[in-house]
Amino acid sequence: MTAISFLGLGAIGAPMARHFTAPAFELTVWNRTRARADAFARGTPARVAATPADAARGAAFVITCLPTSREVEALLDGPDGLLAGLARGTTLIDCTSGDPATSRRIAARLAEHGVDFMDAPVSGGVSGAEQGTLTVMCGGDAEVFARIRPVIDAFGEKLVHCGPVGAGHALKSVNNALLAVHVWSTAEGLAALARAGVSPAVALEVINASSGRSNTSQNLFPERVLTRAFPRTFRLALLDKDVGIAAQVAREGRVPSPLLQLTSELFGIAHRALGEEADHVEAVRLIEQWAGVELG
């Protein structure tokens, strides 16, 4: 049995962690709000750890899935921190959609303690996590990637080694920036068409059989906007963070990136207007409000 510790049982962390309740693994979980970990573990063989240090003790692989790299870095220190429990030879797999610079700092600190690090953010949403079909983008040494493969295979389907530490996070941020561009541009386009007398349903029927289609137009809008369901699966606050990382990666690389910078600004506005709990697709509500139309 492989000893796995999973820290961060949020919207996507919990369904990812659930795959490690299978007999091949010995699972320990930790969550900042203990009640969430207790609820997760009920009826499963998982052990609930009292602290990150307690969770790290005895684990071969520690997996983190927190909002940003800032929270992962903050978990390292102090008497209850991860570093107090991590043994040499352990591997920390960070599934947070984090930022490359902080990950390089975390990796350097862990290396001082003989602990390997790999950034391994995921794509595929809550349903992909439940079905174990996530895409996992990995940054770190090839040898570490080979070692973590059987672990991330529990929740992933497409497992890709993208480059050195930070490469997974950079790629994830750009992927999500593209999602943000699609959500925003599809909403603007449909609002303009609604004003021109074309219903959103007809517009999507045509776009989805034409060259402007995307996952956003084929799945998100029909299932979430037209129906007015707007389920809360991935917080707008987190997408705002991801686009901000992509914009930062572009600036650091001195890549002219007006579209990424503008998208980051727009999602910052939407995040502030709609609050911490809004789903990412609810950014559409802001465009509807500005345009005075409803895309339902």
A 10 A CB-CB count for 97 gives 28
Q: Is 180 in the site for ligand NDP (CB under 6 A)?
A: no
Shortest reach from residue 33's CB to ligand NDP, in Å: 3
Mode of pairing for the β-strands spanning 134-139 and 122-123: antiparallel
Task: Supply the minimum distance, in Å, between the C-beta of residue 23 and ligand NDP.
Answer: 25
Catalytic (active site) residue 158: no
Stretch 29-58: interaction string toward ligand NDP, x if CB under 6 A: --xxx--x----------------------
Residues 89, 34: Cα–Cα separation, whole Å: 28
> What's the closest the beta carbon of residue 157 comes to ligand NDP, in angstroms?
14
Strands (E), the chain: 2-7, 25-30, 47-48, 61-64, 91-94, 116-119, 122-123, 134-139, 156-163
**Residue the block writes with tokens 């727009």:** 266
Amino acid at the residue 154: A
The verdict on 132 binding ligand NDP (CB under 6 A) reads no
x/- mask, ligand NDP, residues 72-111, rule CB under 6 A, reads: ------------------------xx--------------
DSSP 224: I
| Sequence-distant (≥ 6) Cβ neighbours of residue 241 within 8 angstroms | 67, 68, 97
Q: Is residue 244 a contact point for ligand NDP (CB under 6 A)?
A: no
**Number of chain residues interacting with ligand NDP (CB under 6 A):** 24
Q: Which of 104, 172, 271, 280 is catalytic?
A: 172
* Active site (catalytic) residues: 172
The binding site for ligand NDP (CB under 6 A) comprises: 8-13, 31-33, 36, 65-67, 71, 96-97, 122-123, 125-126, 233-235, 238
